[in-house]
Amino acid sequence: MIDTHSHINFPEYRTNFSEFIENLKKENIEKVIIPGVDPSTFDEIINLCRKYDMLYGAIGVHPSECLTYTKHTRQIICEAVKNPKIIAIGEIGLDYYWTTETKEEQKSVFRQQLKIAQEVQLPVIIHDRQAHEDTFNILNEFKNLKDVVFHCFSGTPEFAKRCTDKGYYIAIGGVVTFKNAKDLKETAKIVPADKLLLETDAPYLTPVPFRGKLNSPEYLKYIAQEIANLRNTSTEEIRQQTTINAKRLFNF
């Protein structure tokens, strides 16, 4: 399986990191994508990806960090994507859950990074929280994006259909295992098989039965199991299809 979004560069994973990576391999985790959130994380992500074959990175400024974005940040991103282990721009987007005070700054930084993605022709990893319409409308301003994935999808099934109708991918994480995640469970049922991805968003959103503990890519199997149950198919089918999708999307 491929974990398409996991912050394993965070301090929580620094103890015995090589052993941690070996354990992921034993759990049949083939690749992990580490997304950037602000410029201070970029070098660390690149260094980890150079050191470990199974790790790949994305470079971007998270909407909550939009005030850190400068002209120099753009230069850093454009330089970083020359590294073959950096395979996407992200995570970028809009977040109106944590703050609405920086809406305009978020939109500006989102557009600036989409322009980079357009120029370098890399996929985009989207963070969209309680900002569905603005996110969708801004994406529609950019006609030549290579590919788009909605990370940790949090919209309605109807919104998911609008996204997949545009050719966007939907990544589903541990929330789908929560009892009260009715919309996400319905979304997991209806996403076209060729647009479905798995992720953990570790260290956050740990799936049942480990909810409340530190998340890890090794728990991806529980997300796959839940999606398989919801779609009335086998876990192996979900593993195989989402791996094919990730390899196509990120050009592995």
What average pLDDT does the segment 3-24 reach? 96
Peptide bond into 203 cis (omega under 30): yes
Which pair of structure tokens corresponds to residue 33?
Answer: 């994508």
Q: What does the domain layout of the chain look like in residue ranges? A: 2-250
> If you search the block for the tokens 């006609």, which residue do you land on?
143
Q: For residue range 76-115, list pLDDT tens digits in order.
A: 999 999 999 999 999 999 999 988 899 999 999 999 999 9
Under CATH, which number does the domain 2-250 receive?
A: 3.20.20.140
Half-sphere exposure in the Cβ direction for 195 (13 Å, CA): 22
E-strand ranges in the chain read: 2-3, 31-35, 55-59, 86-95, 124-129, 148-150, 169-172, 196-198
Residue 98 confidence (pLDDT): 84
Residues 6+ apart with CB under 8 A from 41: 9
Q: How far is 195 from 123, CA to CA, in rounded Å?
A: 14
